[in-house]
A and B are shown apart, each in its own frame.
Chain A
């Protein structure tokens, strides 16, 4: 009765799938997944790789988070894993069980900015010890007011904002401040989306939060930065505020961290992966700045290239997860 309609439907399906079936000339593929922090860098490199070098290789980038990325990487699903912290023991073990060898390549620095509301007139800097007192698990339900952190601050409630607990950002922050990875008080506003945190801190007079430096740089008019003092003269005297310059020269400690890509050695044997990784390392210093991160020194990129050349597997950090104040160049040199 409705033959015309059925024919129309079938026709739509046939047209749809035949246009779908047209095989393109594919030279290969590179599968990347992992940290949403590193995503913009990998996206930028992939875009340039496609435009400048090799349009036939299909590069895909996902954002499952650092942990989710390693799960896929260590079960052999992906060729490259984006990571905002070094690989952890549990992930090292997973990789070993599946016989996945990998090379760890630092590709950029990121700073975690400490921010408060512009209406906050009392605070300009904070020490690492004060931050620890504020963020450690024992602070839950106890440290609730600004004057409990520093007596000269007002008797007002403090509202905390931070990265979601599944992110590498949270892992790094807790390692650097609390001293134990993945351990902090639980009563803070957590979001995987840093724009939500920006929104939160910019509308709450008594807020204190942390997130990637790029998000502060884009919202300078709505936020005030809180300088950080690690009481270590070797990293610059007194409080240091997060900025591109202080992250690059290593004085903004301990909240500067390296970002990584992990490359599977088995995948590296495929020419398209090899050529992609080479391209990544040659363009990274230029592209990381463009997407809001801080590049390593030229020497460090040279050293990472050698690391690929010599197929040096494993982590610079001994597979123990986040480490604070690591000097990438020194570690790279020692490893070669």
Chain B
């Protein structure tokens, strides 16, 4: 800093701007505190190992989250396995191979538009294409394909963003050394952009884990007292179980719902922390 702080006189307009910015940050934080605090107060008493490892039940006190938790876990694993290769591939094509043309800009506009389509539309699409036409039934695979479809535009966009960060000079240097396009992408561009892409992908997965509408549309079930045993297995997921508990008349189930919300938030927090950790860890290895 060149100037010491005391030499700069803060004007009133500066102060006002600061105040507005402060309110802008305060409101979301307050909102989050109220939300989490409310869930914690309601659900804390039910948060224990039995709740995490229990099966659904008509008795709120012994009802557990295990099938929903594992359902969400497998769903995310499968979704990632489908969405990451496809999304990364599409991003590499658009950034590295495709030439500027009317067609590519049309594709680009469509991808950004698709990212804004309501998730229930993807649910309806998934119901028709995966559940009915591809005869996957109401299985984990159909759910994962639908969620992958939902994530794809976002994955493509964050991947492209991170590919774009790699300086053009590096690519040119690579070509100058005699590498072909594949070698340049595989050895230079991808390793450098991967941490950024991965972070974005994990963040969008954290969004997908809370999605309810598309799963309900494709017909994820509500009472499932077993764990998925294959990708064709019936399944339930955390948001669906929470939704079901909230709509029950008995207050005890609402406590379960609050506890379920806390678990869901925790899983999201873990995913986000993982994203930050991966980025920090991987970026250290890249030398510019």
A residues within 8 Å of B by Cβ? 1-2, 5, 12-13, 16-17, 20-24, 26, 31-33, 36, 39-40, 42-44, 46-47, 50, 58-64, 72, 192-195, 212, 214-215, 217-219, 287, 290-292
Q: Does B249 contact A (CB under 8 A)?
A: yes
Q: Out of B58, B228, B251, name the residue touching A290 (CB < 8 Å).
A: B58
Contact (Cβ within 8 A) A46 B249: no
Contact of B249 among A22, A61, A218 (CB under 8 A): A218
- In the assembled complex, how far is the CB of residue A224 from the closest CB belonging to chain B, in whole angstroms? 17
CB distance from A289 to the nearest CB of B (A): 11
B224 on interface, CB distance cutoff 8 Å: yes
Bound-state CA distance A289–B43 (Å) is: 26
Asked if B45 lies at the interface with its beta carbon under 8 angstroms from chain A, I say: no
Asked whether B210 is an interface residue with its Cβ less than 8 Å from the other chain, the reply is: no
CB atoms of B223 and A43 under 8 A apart: yes
Question: Within 8 Å of chain A (Cβ to Cβ): is B44?
Answer: no
Bound state CA distance, A60 and B227, in angstroms?
A: 11
With A43-B58, A218-B250 as known contacts, state yes or no: A61 contacts B230, CB within 8 Å: no
Residues of B near any A CB (own CB < 8 A): 55-58, 73-74, 77, 81, 138, 187, 191, 194, 219-226, 228-231, 234, 244, 246-251, 282, 285
> Could you give 17 example pairs across A and B, Cβ below 8 Å?
A1-B187, A1-B191, A2-B282, A23-B230, A24-B226, A32-B223, A44-B58, A47-B56, A58-B226, A59-B225, A60-B234, A62-B220, A62-B221, A62-B222, A63-B244, A195-B247, A215-B249
Q: Complex formed: what's the CA distance from A29 to B248 in Å?
A: 26
Residues of A within 8 A of B248 (CB): 40
Contact B222–A61 (Cβ < 8 Å)? yes
Given that A1-B187, A24-B229 are known contacts, is A16 also in contact with B77, CB under 8 Å in the complex? Answer: yes
Instruction: Looking at the assembled complex, report how far the CB atom of B87 sits from the nearest CB atom of chain A, in whole angstroms.
Output: 15
Chain A residues closer than 8 Å to B224, beta-carbon distance:
60
> In the bound complex, do residue B191 and residue A47 qualify as a contact, i.e. CB atoms below 8 Å apart?
no
CB neighbours of B55 from chain A (8 A)? 47, 50
Do A20 and B231 contact each other (CB < 8 Å), given the known contacts A2-B282, A13-B81, A46-B225? Answer: yes
Q: A5-B282, A43-B56, A47-B58 are in contact. Are A214 and B249 (CB under 8 A)?
A: yes
Count CB-based A-B contacts (< 8 Å).
98
Name the distance in Å between A213's Cβ and chain B's nearest Cβ: 9
Query: Once the chains bind, are A2 and B223 in contact (CB under 8 Å)?
Result: no
* Closest residue of B by beta carbon distance from A62: B221
A287: chain B residues within 8 A (beta carbon): 58
Chain B contacts for A195, CB-based, 8 A: 246-247, 249
State how many angstroms separate the Cβ of A69 from the closest Cβ of chain B: 11
Residues of A within 8 A of B73 (CB): 16
A62 B191 Cβ-Cβ under 8 A = no
Which of A33, A72, A194, A218 lies at the interface centre, i.e. has the most chain B CB atoms within 10 A of its CB?
Answer: A218
Q: Given A13-B77, A20-B228, A63-B244, are A47 and B222 neighbors across the interface (CB < 8 Å)?
A: no
Q: Is the CB of A21 within 8 A of B230?
A: yes
| Residue contact A2 to B194, C-beta cutoff 8 Å | yes
In the complex, residue of chain B having the shortest beta-carbon distance to the beta carbon of A287: B58
Closest Cβ of chain A to B185, distance in Å, is 12
Is B229 a contact of A193 with CB atoms below 8 Å? Answer: no
A43 to B62, CA, bound (A): 14
Pairwise interchain contact A39-B282, C-beta atoms closer than 8 A: no
- Chain B residue contacts of A193, Cβ below 8 A: 246-247
Q: Is the CB of B56 within 8 A of A21?
A: no
**Residues of A with C-beta under 8 A to B225:** 46-47, 50, 58-59
Known: A17-B77, A43-B58, A47-B58. A60 touches B229 (CB 8 A): no
Expressed in whole angstroms, the Cα–Cα distance for A66 and B65 within the complex equals: 26
| Residues of chain B within 8 A of A72, CB atoms compared | 219
Shortest Cβ distance from A75 into B: residue: B132
